[in-house]
């Protein structure tokens, strides 16, 4: 039997609960399509850090490297100063495993009402590609000098030709398989050095993709165009910080953070990719059963697709969408079910729904 060997990092807050739902759906899909999942849990996050003082040890990185993929929940805890887990764990893993492309689909599923007027299933189907290893999130560098009236914080931003080319090439290939349009989103009018490099790489790579049209949108203007006219976008390529911000905006357009999936993707296959919801550990609702597990299940679907399990991926996506369409609201006490119950409902639907339920199964 085909076997996929997964590392599972539930993490903090709502992370373990939504990850449990994701695994339930993945197992239901594995049973249905005749493959096996082997899973290994890694206790990483706030508890482990508070106990050991280490966010991510070298041994753990090497153990994780041996898996086919990593299923990740969320990290972040009010007891740990900001940055220690976010930078020391998640950003560190993205960099260590060269997960240079963060894939964040923004799709309004049938039967779901966007909080933004005028957004429909027909006009909202785009993918944000966020560069995942550089920009202002680069490891190291920067400094903070406080305690004087001249207190100054320096935060370095790095943009390399190699990493930019990797994500831009991925973007053009994805656009070619979709509707043939790529948008560069940046702030070239202010961040002129990084901006020029991005523009240069898009022009250079684009020369090999004459069938893909391109345009450019400043990131601030994107905050108007994305909610007001999502239909003008197909593939959006952007840097690390801008991608972080506009993909939360995209999540809102598609119904909220409880619905937004992502893949931290290593396009070369040199190390495992990692699949996680866009949202964080949501300490404000942790332990209440109010978290929507759909984002985690949709991320699991991206994991199955990357492992070559196309039908399993399609039913996990379709089952999530179908259960979401039945909910009165997508988060909080009025959701109509608790996290665990929703996970069970999605997994039951995985067992029966048609892989083509959401339309063309070969769309990218």
Interface residues toward Mn ion, by CB under 5 A: 244
Residue from 108, 201, 236, 285 touching ligand NAD (CB under 6 A): that is 285
Q: With CB under 6 A as the contact rule, which of the stretches 56-64, 193-201, 283-291, 305-313 interacts with ligand NAD?
A: 283-291
Select the residue interacting with ligand NAD from 30, 101, 257, 327 (CB under 6 A): 257
DSSP bridge partners of 38:
5
Distance CA 315, CA 298 (A): 10
Q: Which CB sits closer to ligand NAD, 18 or 182?
A: 18
23 lines the binding site for ligand NAD (CB under 6 A):
no
Choose the contact partner of 279 out of Mn ion, ligand NAD, none; CB within 5 to 8 A by kind.
Answer: ligand NAD
Give me the least distance between CB of 292 and ligand NAD, in Å please.
4
Query: Does residue 168 sit in helix, strand or coil?
Result: helix
Tokens standing for residue 140: 């190291």
Q: How far is the CB of 248 from Mn ion (least distance, A)?
A: 6
User: What is the separation of C-alpha 33 from the centre of its chain, rounded to a whole number of angstroms?
Assistant: 25
- Taking CB under 6 A as the rule, does residue 279 contact ligand NAD? yes
* 75 belongs to the binding site for ligand NAD (CB under 6 A): yes
> By CB under 6 A, is residue 187 in contact with ligand NAD?
no
Alpha carbons 264 and 160: distance in angstroms, whole number: 19
Nearest-CA neighbor of 72 among 321, 278, 345?
Answer: 278
Residue (76 or 355) nearer to Mn ion, CB: 76
Find, among 6, 31, 16, the residue nearest to 350 by Cα.
31
Tell me the C-alpha distance between 335 and 347, whole Å. 18
How many residues contact ligand NAD, by CB under 6 A? 21
Choose from Mn ion, ligand NAD, none: what does 282 bind? Cβ within 5-8 Å by kind.
ligand NAD
* Exposure letters 301-324 (e unless 16+ CB within 10 A, then b): bbbbbbbebebbbbbbbbbbbbbb
Residue 180 CB, nearest approach to ligand NAD (Å): 31
Instruction: List CB contacts of 118: < 8 A, sequence separation 6 or more.
Output: 228
* In contact, 132 and 94? CB cutoff 8 Å: yes
Asked if 90 interacts with ligand NAD (CB under 6 A), we say yes
Partner whose footprint covers residue 86, from Mn ion, ligand NAD, none (CB < 5 to 8 Å by kind)? ligand NAD
Q: Which stretch binds ligand NAD (CB under 6 A): 167-175, 229-237, 291-299, 348-356?
A: 291-299
Closest CA to 233 of 251, 209, 252, 213: 213
Residue 206 or 280: the one with the smaller Cβ distance to ligand NAD is 280
Is residue 276 within 8 Å of 135, Cβ to Cβ? no
Give the interface segment with ligand NAD, choosing from 160-168, 288-296, 313-321, 353-361 (CB under 6 A): 288-296
CA of 129: how far to CAs of 155, 171, 238, 310, in Å?
23, 7, 6, 21
Binding mask 324-363 for ligand NAD (x = CB under 6 A): -------x--------------------------------
Q: Which residues bind ligand NAD (CB under 6 A)?
A: 14, 18, 74-76, 86, 90, 257-258, 276, 279-285, 291-292, 295, 331
């Amino acid at each position: 039997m085909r076997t996929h060997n997964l590392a599972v990092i539930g993490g903090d807050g709502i992370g373990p609960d939504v990850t449990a739902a994701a695994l339930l759906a993945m197992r239901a899909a594995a049973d249905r399509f005749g493959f096996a999942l082997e899973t290994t849990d890694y206790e990483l996050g706030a508890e482990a850090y508070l106990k050991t003082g280490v966010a991510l040890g070298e041994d753990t990185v090497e153990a994780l490297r041996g898996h086919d993929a990593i299923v990740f929940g969320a990290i972040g805890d009010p007891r740990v100063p900001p940055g220690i887990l976010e930078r020391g764990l998640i950003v560190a893993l993205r960099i260590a495993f060269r997960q240079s492309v963060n894939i964040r689909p923004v799709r309004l599923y049938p039967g779901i009402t966007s909080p933004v007027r005028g957004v429909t299933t027909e006009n909202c189907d785009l993918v944000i590609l966020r560069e995942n290893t550089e920009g202002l999130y680069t490891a190291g560098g920067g400094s903070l000098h406080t305690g004087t009236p001249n207190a100054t914080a320096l935060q370095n931003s790095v943009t390399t030709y190699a990493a930019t080319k990797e994500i831009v090439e991925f973007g053009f290939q994805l656009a070619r398989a979709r509707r043939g349009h790529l948008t560069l989103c940046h702030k070239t009018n202010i961040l002129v050095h990084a901006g020029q490099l991005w523009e240069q790489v898009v022009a250079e790579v684009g020369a090999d993709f004459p069938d893909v049209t391109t345009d450019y949108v400043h990131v601030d203007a994107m905050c108007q165009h994305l909610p007001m006219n999502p239909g003008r976008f197909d593939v959006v390529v952007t840097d690390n910080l801008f991608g972080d911000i506009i993909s939360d905006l995209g999540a809102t357009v598609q119904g909220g953070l409880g619905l937004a999936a992502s893949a931290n993707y290593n396009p070369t296959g040199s190390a495992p990719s990692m699949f996680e919801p866009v949202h964080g550990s949501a300490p404000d609702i942790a332990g209440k059963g109010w978290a929507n597990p759909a984002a985690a299940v949709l991320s699991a679907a991206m994991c199955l697709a990357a492992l070559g399990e196309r039908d399993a991926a399609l039913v996990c996506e379709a089952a999530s969408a179908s259960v979401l369409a039945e909910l009165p609201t997508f988060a909080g006490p009025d959701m109509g079910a608790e996290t665990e119950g929703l996970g069970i409902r999605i997994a039951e639907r995985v067992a029966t729904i048609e892989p083509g339920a959401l339309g063309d199964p070969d769309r990218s």
